[in-house]
Amino acid sequence: MSGITNRSLQGRNEMELTEMLTRGPAVDDELVFFAMPYGERTLPNDEVADFDVLYERYFAETVRSMGLTPERADRIPGTTESPLSAAWNGVDRAGVVVIDLSFPSTSVAMELGWAMCLHKQAVVIHHEGAVVPTNIIGQVRAIKYRCDMNGLPDMQEALRLAIEEARKQGTPEMDLRPRTGVRNVEAIAEVVWTAADHIYVRDVQNELRTGVMRRTDMDYLETLPDDMAKRFREHSRVRGIFVTDENGTRFSQRHGKTNPWPSFEMAYQRGALVRAKVTQINRGGCFVELEDGGKSRLSTAAAEAAGLDHGSEVRVRVHRVDPAGQRIEVTLADRVPTAGGLPRTALAPANAGRHLPLLLPRPGDQCEGTVTKPVNERGFVLVDLDGWSDIGQPAFLHISRMTSELRERFNAGAVAKGDRLRVEVVSAGPSPRDPERVEVRLREVPTHAWTAAAAAPEPGTPASETGMSEGQAA
């Protein structure tokens, strides 16, 4: 199938088109493709012929009567290709190509050239009186026809016999493999145009060298975008290698490099704390390089809140490694105070390797939290605990451990995301169902049991960060 996109071809030179016309995987021996004029045309003998009617009532009907499938570029069902791309696709896939030279047409001439270049089984026809190039007449015996009651039946029979004869020939087709001694060329390329799943680039040092780069050719350390047109801008420049093989020429940023993602999956287990270094901060976020290789991104807000800048060393929590999208999702594991000065429980997973241990609250710790999700049908809510963002996931508060007041609100569906709660840690450790996940279970603390130690802010903490006004803090 052609690699040409639906975008306008205006301004693209012939070499670009040649580079992009690549062969599909197979030829359909039962397909007969018609390269011909469309609509009403005045022939050189001043006769007017409606080629749409000729195609539907005579050409296509003849092919169907032979048990074959007729096709014309503008009649391919459901196609979203450009006319040029659809025409190439038809010529490429067809077992036989019929070319009607009744009316001078650049498109038909191009399709004829493609058919000849591919060594297609071709049948040439033209209306009586049409001017046919002498070099074509010298190579093939064209079928002449007239658009009248006698001429059209004769044309159908001649066309049927010519198609049958062409199908018997069986001449091998050309595969258009590149013939070059230069296989791989490292280069800086300019982006010519972009699409959702690929970009088309040209070597800035050799404009005749072009290629397509798809997601699967992007750098292993770059997050793969859903839409490449949003990542790459036209006229911008990218570095990579033009790789030439039996499938043509493509542009790759990963050719010859080892895929690091299997090792990333082993190194970065879910929930692990790892060291990272800030390499860049911009409007897109805070980008960090992880200690065992690979990159990730923190939100700009988190970076600003932690006072990070270029070169800062931080700890991050791994949430997910996604090799398919080439993403490592992390959050900032910030240093937070413990309630009442109680020490944290250290949990070191067996597969933590060089990673830092996961620090958890102790049973009995009291703190406040925010409801992230009420799960009414299963009788619990998920809660983000203040000061424990490095855990990387919400804690679990079951209905049986709620106060009667909260239980009534929960059963009435009145507990919502964003509600604030005062809770106490019941347990914290590896989940029995998944030892790689942390599970923190809570109970709600009644107002009369809320300790002064839990309510008191860490020394030096601004009142605005405790949820109290200055008057309340006083």
Q: Please write the tens of the pLDDT for every residue from 166-202.
A: 888 766 677 665 555 557 899 999 999 999 999 999 9
Residue 398 and residue 436 share a domain: yes
Domain that holds residue 420: 348-458
Q: Which of 192, 222, 252 is a domain's end point?
A: 252
Is there a contact between 146 and 127 (Cβ–Cβ < 8 Å)? yes
Report the pLDDT value the prediction gives residue 171, as an integer from 0 to 100: 67
Report the pLDDT averaged over residues 91-95. 91
| Same domain? 49 vs 153 | yes
Task: Grade residue 135 by pLDDT with cuts at 50, 70 and 90.
Answer: low
CATH number of the domain encompassing residue 405: 2.40.50.140
| Contact (Cβ atoms closer than 8 angstroms) between residue 410 and residue 375 | no
Q: Are residues 229 and 306 in the same domain?
A: no
The model's confidence at residue 10, banded by pLDDT at 50, 70 and 90, is: very low
**Domain shared by 38 and 163, yes or no:** yes
Asked, for residue 234, whether it belongs to a domain, the answer is yes
Q: Mean pLDDT over all residues of the chain?
A: 79
Q: Which of 72-76, 278-282, 296-300 has the highest mean pLDDT?
A: 278-282
Total domains in the chain come to: 4
Binned at pLDDT 50, 70 and 90, residue 345 comes out as very low
Q: What pLDDT is recorded for position 162?
A: 92
pLDDT of residue 78: 54
CATH code for position 201: 2.40.50
Cα 258 from Cα 185, distance rounded (Å): 19
